[in-house]
Structure 1
Amino acid sequence: MTQYVCLLLWVIAATIYSCAPKPYAATNKIYRQQAKQYASILKAEPTPIPASGAPIPASWIGTTNFNMRKPNYVIIHHTAQGSCDTTFNTFTLPRTQVSAHYVVCKDGTITQMLNDYLRAWHAGVSKWGNVTDMNSCSIGIELDNNGLTPFQPQQINSLLVLLDTLKHRYNIPAANFIGHGDIAPGRKVDPSAWFPWQQLSEKGFGLWYGDTSKVILPVDFNSRQALRIVGYDTRDTSAVIKAFKRHYIPVDSTNSSSLDEGQKKILFTLMQQSE
């Protein structure tokens, strides 16, 4: 009798769950439809490209040596919104034209919103090193935070687990874990000066520096050139210095667009790691 009651309760619970409203059922259906469309594109056979004066091959020849393109960067953002639910809504409205692969809520919950191999719209107009289309080679991670307060410990702990998974899954170099503000200086400031970059670096995600008191700067040290070697787009030097400080010297993440000698030593150390 007890087993029967337990089974009956389980059936009732399952029925209630299956009938419960699913707020993103409609957009999940659209996701599957769009993924199916891209799958059909991948399955399409190559077609000959006619060139003037050149013979057209009788058939196509498929190579046997290929796999999926993989992401090589991870870009970290803060949502600048009030809650994860608000962000989920934003990322499921076509008119917003923004998205990310993952959203990490304050309580540490990780929600994946897009397959890692697909291109999210999270980076916008951005540049890092010679890469001018960051969306095509990166994974975007959004942290539920308004940019004005510290990040929750459980949120950072979950982020570290996610980053470790991605790093090993795609063999992403430590230097390629960066922030939105790094790739879009002057336009974006996330994930804010509150973000614990040093803590991440200690786990192998992103660059950091040690004791720089004994560092000797070269006589011809050029801060702008060093920032470019690290990866920054230096067309707006003032904006880049502010972005650099926000990431590596958050205690001085002011509007100052100059570097003192100690800060130049930090930059020099990071430049050496990037070369």
Structure 2
Amino acid sequence: MKYLRLLIIITLFASCSKNIYQVSKNTYHKKAKQLGKSLVKIAPDTIGNRTTKVIESQNFNLRKPNIVVIHHTAQDSCMQTYKTFALERTQVSSHYVICDDGTITQMLHDLVRGWHAGNGSWGKNTDINSSSIGIELDNNGTEPFSYAQINSLTSLLEKLSTKYKIPAQNIIGHSDIAPGRKTDPSALFPWKSLAESGFGIWYDEEDLKTVTLPVDFDTTLALKYIGYNTSNIKNAIYSFKLHFNSDEVSHELSEKDKKILFLVMKEV
């Protein structure tokens, strides 16, 4: 009787899980069709006291993403993340999820606007969701990223960068676009090796030994030039160090940090 009850619970759980993903799939298709229909016809608008004319041009295509934002899920499994992105109440999504074993799951079309970046900015871009692809790495934030996972990430970035011509400096972390609010991917993320594969930027570590900073070097302007929001300079410094000097993360720039910042700025 005990085992029968357990079997029923497992069956019900599996059934509920399937329903969650079926509902999410059906809703995705419905929304995609609605968006498609909304593009078929341009409705005349009223601006001021006048109605706009409509003359459709044949010269267009869909907008292309220009930024990739890398996250860690802060959850304990891919299944948890799939469920989070499938439920309407969470109001969060990402285009791709990469599991610890390297499995890549696509959850949104590249050209639709995912809900992964939230309130953030990179350079003058203040609506990251509208111009980015979000990639979630299955990681709780305290463990190293697996070789299989980073290998799959590199392959995915190669595809996306080639397809959409995404510049290396626009392959960034959630913490880069949201200083003080987000710290993912964690300090354990291998930004250097990713840059060595051609995705993201890094500084010349040999130059770090000999570089001399200009007397008038402005660290705030340098951070802003790279892309960081410097409205809270301490948060911007923290996010910069999390990315480029993760062994010494703090809210203050050391002399070494300033040299790294100068060298990174030259790579942009």
Please indicate, yes or no, whether the TM-score normalized by the shorter chain is above 0.5. Answer: yes
Match of 1:144 among 112, 121, 138: 138
Q: 1: CA distance between counterparts of 2:30 and 2:153?
A: 29
**Per-residue deviation at 1:50?**
5.2
**Per-residue deviation at 1:224?**
1.2
Match of 1:107 among 101, 118, 121: 101
Residue 232 in 1 paired to residue 222 in 2? Answer: no
Which residue is equivalent to 2:217?
221
Which residue is equivalent to 1:31?
28
Residue 203 in 1 paired to residue 200 in 2? Answer: no
Match of 1:89 among 83, 86, 92: 83
| Ranges in structure 2 where 5+ consecutive residues have no aligned partner | 1-13
Letter in 1 for 2:214: P
Match of 2:40 among 39, 43, 49: 43
Q: 2: CA distance between counterparts of 1:206 and 1:125?
A: 22
Conserved in 1, the CA contact under 8 Å of 2:173 and 2:184?
Answer: yes
Conserved in 1, the CA contact under 8 Å of 2:120 and 2:178?
Answer: yes
**Per-residue deviation at 1:151?**
0.2
Q: 2: CA distance between counterparts of 1:248 and 1:44?
A: 48
Conserved in 1, the CA contact under 8 Å of 2:44 and 2:52?
Answer: no
Q: 2: CA distance between counterparts of 1:133 and 1:145?
A: 26
Question: CA separation of 1:106/1:61 partners in 2, compared to 1, >3 Å: closer, same or farther?
Answer: same
Match of 1:116 among 110, 116, 122: 110
- What do residues 102-133 of structure 1 show as CA deviations (whole Å, max 9, x unaligned)? 00000100000000100000000101100100
Q: 2: CA distance between counterparts of 1:125 and 1:213?
A: 37
Letter in 1 for 2:211: V
Letter in 1 for 2:63: R
Stretches of 4+ moved more than 3 A in 1?
A: 20-23, 48-51, 54-57
Q: 1: CA distance between counterparts of 2:104 and 2:212?
A: 43
Conserved in 1, the CA contact under 8 Å of 2:202 and 2:267?
Answer: no
**Per-residue deviation at 1:49?**
3.2
Q: Normalising by structure 1, what TM-score?
A: 0.87
- What do residues 16-55 of structure 1 show as CA deviations (whole Å, max 9, x unaligned)? xxxx964512211111111111111111234253543x57
| Ranges in structure 1 where 5+ consecutive residues have no aligned partner | 1-19
Conserved in 1, the CA contact under 8 Å of 2:230 and 2:236?
Answer: yes
Partner-residue secondary structure (3-state), 2:209: coil
Q: 2: CA distance between counterparts of 1:25 and 1:46?
A: 33
Which residue is equivalent to 1:3?
none
Question: CA separation of 1:267/1:50 partners in 2, compared to 1, >3 Å: closer, same or farther?
Answer: closer
> How many residues matched?
250
Q: 2: CA distance between counterparts of 1:55 and 1:39?
A: 24
Partner-residue secondary structure (3-state), 2:108: coil
Report the identity percentage: 52
**Per-residue deviation at 1:56?**
6.1
Which residue is equivalent to 1:170?
164
**Per-residue deviation at 1:257?**
1.5
Q: 2: CA distance between counterparts of 1:62 and 1:72?
A: 26
Q: 1: CA distance between counterparts of 2:156 and 2:211?
A: 34
Letter in 1 for 2:98: V
Partner-residue secondary structure (3-state), 1:99: coil
Q: 1: CA distance between counterparts of 2:257 and 2:28?
A: 46
Q: 1: CA distance between counterparts of 2:51 and 2:42?
A: 19
Which residue is equivalent to 1:67?
61
